[in-house]
Structure 1
Amino acid sequence: MQTNEPVNSVVHYLRSPDGMITELGRIPTGGAGSGTFKPISGQPSAPNAFEGAASVILSPDRRFLFATNGGDNSVSSFRVSEDGGLALLDVKPTGNAVTGRSGTAKSLAYAPASETLFVLHSFGPDHVRLMSVDGEGRLSLRLERYSVNTPDKPHRVATMVALSPDGRFLFVGTTFDEPPTANPDGSAILWVERDGQPKSIASNEPDPDGLIVFPVAADGTLGAPSFHDAGGGSPFYIAFLHGRPDTFVVGYAVGDGIVMGRIDADGMVSFGPLTPINTSAGKPSELCWLSVSPDDRTVFATNFGYSNISSFQLDGGAPVVAKDPACPRVPGDGSFRALNGTVSSGPSDNWVSPDGAYLYQIYGNASKLVGYEIQPDGSLEEITSVSIPYNSPQGLAGV
């Protein structure tokens, strides 16, 4: 996990067979995080400062770990030893200049065939930048740059980048069609007036173009993007299934549920129906992060606004709610309110262990990383908790 503090570090944890975790150390990234500052909303202190996901990733061969530095728009690479220890190899700028208090480098995907690292930024026009990774893990910036803007949406806010398992397509999720303005309490305003009518700034709502797919060439360069109806408002998180490489699940920050989708050999995307959670606590739930169990039977979805997790069963068709919520609400310190007005602990990234036995969840406003034992019915039983920095931490990756 990265601390995302102004002097950024990656925290190394040891996971024991019973699911307990112990912090072993913190390794500086050589770059700057955004700290508690949230660039998208301008809030001086709020959890999930990136409004993104996958800011810490491992290469498929587990030789390298990559982490964004959102404060100064740079990326760090580390060598991973057999015992999980990290050694900093390199840190390089993404090529996007920092304007204001922080940069917005937020999400990573890696294509081992071309040794290309894709770096996503919240703000464009150059949302996606490319880096090459040599055999020793050193980084070099490439000249290519790509946007998810459209002619009528020149200021879109991107969220997450994900590479299809065959490496042929790069997916980009979005949150807003334009940066939100803020209420006096710092909360985001999701509506603007257009032609005398209120219009949501949540992406894909109402304009059905919130999911962007780029074809990926053999050298890692991207072709012309296609814009797709993502099936719900603010398609935040994209997670491919382990055993079905053409199938993925999308979590919606404003749509308040998940959808199963498919991509064919030509890059055409199709979606099933949206499976919502119970939103009686207020909309939106900000269902943002997903983890898929190794057997592809269960999806765990983090509800940023509700301070808890919901679980879904996948049985080949549309997802079915398993447990909603799957765990008790984790309270924060009472200082942060979500978009629906509820006091939230701001949970963000999560991770399921490779044996499918445990799930780990960041609760930034509660300063906790919580570990759960996964139950057969999709519920979660808390078994461990460790202290983490307040509001800023981002990203989870493990082996």
Structure 2
Amino acid sequence: MLLFGTLGIEACASDLVGHVYVQTNETQNRIMHFGRNADGQLKLLESIPTGGAGSGVFKPISGQKSAPNTFEGAGSVILAESNTLLFTTNGGDNSVTSFRVGPDGKLTVIDRQPTGDPVIGRSGTAKSLAYRPQSRTLYVLHAFGPDHLRSYTVAEDGKLKLRPERASVNTATKTDRVSTQAVLSPDGRFLLVDILFDARPAVNPDGSPNLVVANAPDPDGLVIFPVRDNGALGEASFANAGGAGPFYIAFLNRRRDTFLNGFAVGDGVLVSRINGEGRVTDGPLAPIDTALGKPSELCWLQVASDDSLVLATNFGYGTVSTYRLEEGRLSLLQDPANDAIPGDGTFRAVNGLVSSGPSDSWLTPDDQYFYQIFGNAQVLISYHLNKTSGRLTEIGRNPIPYNSTQGLAGF
């Protein structure tokens, strides 16, 4: 089928204003490379094998045979070094692939290296990436530990060398925590990790999920690692994330000490600040409307270039909500900002609702266009964003693999 084969460029480079990349996370993992036109429309240009394995439709965290958001995480595809390098996780075999990004956006595989964590069972759980240019260090986060974090040194040619260091987000009493995302502070001094569950998900006798949600009530759902000059991580500290089930961290563009956190069970977003010693203070949680059922599984966030607007993806509802951010305070703008996208009817979220399972998203640097994965609907949807109203207007759709697709990055 053409969609999943290696494709040639279908549009002239002069027609394109940017590029968007998504990993299929299929058992033979690929990066789908889309060209972006000035009107926000996407065209699939090529589909390049990573050389590694994804988890496919299987969800290793929950053990579901087929479900969207298979990683339960974010940041599995990232760009670095002024958009000349692209990195992606291969969650199925716990490896990372590096690509060279050409002037025309085309990808060339450079290297693939294991994370050093053995795969136990049907799939690995390598999920989130963060790159520190000061020391050319690439961090890879796994859902399961004990070695949640491993790292590579990235050579100038993009090749990866696994470093010996390893780190855990477990505590003395919580020895099987499930992490979602790793994010570096803009100055590269701290690595922040959100914890979704304090224990691996299980199933109750009646078939309902048994979830031990992090930061509820113990205020330790945010893990902060100091970063040394050479990229090595210091001893972790454990902080109050500010809500239940912290999932996604996004630093503001104009305030380097300020970040947002989205809460899968807390059903909202809050503003936090980190000082020079790595201590975090939290503002109040700004919830969305949860009349449809709890939790909403609000997870992924995108921030406008001027920090005035925040887009939050609700996995359980199949929608996106928008917030206004003024003087460090969040207020709901559109809830939801788009029409709910139906899936194929086979997947239910934790709240029991049939959901299309939206996951990763990306906002263009000019704040005009927003792209959202809907895994259970097999579609990547393009939206025009009205920054004044916060409303999203659908402008296009591109097919993507069923349930497995994860990760969005672009320029």
- TM bracket (short chain): over 0.9
1:182 is aligned with what amino acid? V
1:256 is aligned with what amino acid? D
1:267 is aligned with what amino acid? G
Q: 1:187 to 1:344 in 2, by over 3 A?
A: farther
What displacement does 1:316 show?
A: 1.5
Q: 1:187 to 1:298 in 2, by over 3 A?
A: farther
Aligned length: 389
What displacement does 1:140 show?
A: 0.7
Partner of 2:389: 377
Task: Check if 1:223 corresponds to 2:244.
Answer: no
Question: Which of 64, 88, 92 does residue 71 from structure 1 map onto?
Answer: 92
User: Percent identical across equivalent pairs?
Assistant: 59
> What is the alpha-carbon distance in structure 2 between the residues aligned to residue 368 and residue 14 of structure 1?
16
Q: 1:33 to 1:385 in 2, by over 3 A?
A: same
Secondary structure of the residue aligned to 2:398 is strand
Q: Which runs of 5 or more structure 1 residues have no equivalent in the other structure? A: 191-200
CA RMSD, 1 decimal: 1.0
> What is the alpha-carbon distance in structure 2 between the residues aligned to residue 307 and residue 185 of structure 1?
26
What displacement does 1:390 show?
A: 0.1
1:394 is aligned with what amino acid? Q
> What is the alpha-carbon distance in structure 2 between the residues aligned to residue 156 and residue 14 of structure 1?
38
Q: 1:396 to 1:108 in 2, by over 3 A?
A: same
Partner of 1:259: 270
Secondary structure of the residue aligned to 1:38 is coil
> What is the alpha-carbon distance in structure 1 between the residues aligned to residue 42 and residue 162 of structure 2?
35
1:239 is aligned with what amino acid? A
1:119-169 Cα deviation digits (max 9, x unpaired): 000000000001110000000111100000001100000000000000000
What displacement does 1:185 show?
A: 9.3
| TM-score normalised per structure 2 | 0.94
Task: Check if 1:238 corresponds to 2:249.
Answer: yes
Partner of 2:313: 302
Partner of 1:270: 281
Secondary structure of the residue aligned to 2:336 is coil
What displacement does 1:89 show?
A: 0.2
Q: Which runs of 5 or more structure 2 residues have no equivalent in the other structure? A: 1-21
1:307 is aligned with what amino acid? G
> What is the alpha-carbon distance in structure 2 between the residues aligned to residue 332 and residue 262 of structure 1?
37
Question: Which of 110, 117, 129 does residue 138 from structure 2 map onto?
Answer: 117
Contact 1:64 1:79 in 2 (8 A): yes
Q: 1:3 to 1:299 in 2, by over 3 A?
A: same
Secondary structure of the residue aligned to 1:145 is coil
Q: 1:184 to 1:14 in 2, by over 3 A?
A: farther
Secondary structure of the residue aligned to 1:365 is helix
Secondary structure of the residue aligned to 1:395 is strand
> What is the alpha-carbon distance in structure 2 between the residues aligned to residue 298 and residue 183 of structure 1?
40
User: Which deviates the most, 249-258 or 177-186?
Assistant: 177-186
What displacement does 1:186 show?
A: 6.9
Q: 1:105 to 1:186 in 2, by over 3 A?
A: farther
> What is the alpha-carbon distance in structure 2 between the residues aligned to residue 353 and residue 290 of structure 1?
13
Structure 1 consecutive aligned stretches of length 4 or more whose deviation exceeds 2 Å: 182-190
Partner of 1:195: none
Task: Check if 1:94 corresponds to 2:115.
Answer: yes
Question: Which of 14, 23, 38 does residue 17 from structure 1 map onto?
Answer: 38
1:60-84 Cα deviation digits (max 9, x unpaired): 4111000000000000000001111
> What is the alpha-carbon distance in structure 2 between the residues aligned to residue 113 and residue 56 of structure 1?
20
Question: Which of 326, 338, 350 does residue 349 from structure 2 map onto?
Answer: 338
| TM-score normalised per structure 1 | 0.96
Q: 1:187 to 1:110 in 2, by over 3 A?
A: farther
What displacement does 1:183 show?
A: 5.4
> What is the alpha-carbon distance in structure 1 between the residues aligned to residue 164 and residue 208 of structure 2?
36
> What is the alpha-carbon distance in structure 2 between the residues aligned to residue 346 and residue 384 of structure 1?
18
> What is the alpha-carbon distance in structure 2 between the residues aligned to residue 115 and residue 60 of structure 1?
9
Secondary structure of the residue aligned to 2:402 is coil
What displacement does 1:182 show?
A: 2.6
1:211-244 Cα deviation digits (max 9, x unpaired): 0000000100001111001000011000001111
